[in-house]
Amino acid sequence: MAHTQERRISGLTILIDRTVCIGSGNCVRLAPEVFELDETGLIAFRDGVPEIEPKRLVEACRVCPVDALQAVDAGGRQLAP
């Protein structure tokens, strides 16, 4: 699996940097329909991610203790971390 992943979800671009992920699972607890811990214990996007409330998605990125997740709005402004 790639060290970085990017998806467009609910009008936001979400980026995962698996090289810094420690598998805390905080993001999974806030947005389980978007994120999962894979077989290596690192964060990944789920398949078939639905649209969710953008505010909750940003919060799921903010709670990462090592800033492995970024949320960027349509204008390119970084919302998290």
Which pair of tokens denotes residue 64?
A: 């990462």
What is the average pLDDT value for the chain, to the nearest integer?
Answer: 96
Looking at residue 2, its pLDDT comes to 78
Residues of the chain with pLDDT under 70: none
Answer yes or no: pTM beyond 0.85.
Answer: yes
Specify the pLDDT at position 47.
94
At residue 81, the pLDDT reads: 94
Cis peptide before 32 (omega within 30 of 0): no
The domains of the chain are located at: 4-80
The yes/no answer on whether domain 4-80 falls in CATH 3.40.50.10860 is: no
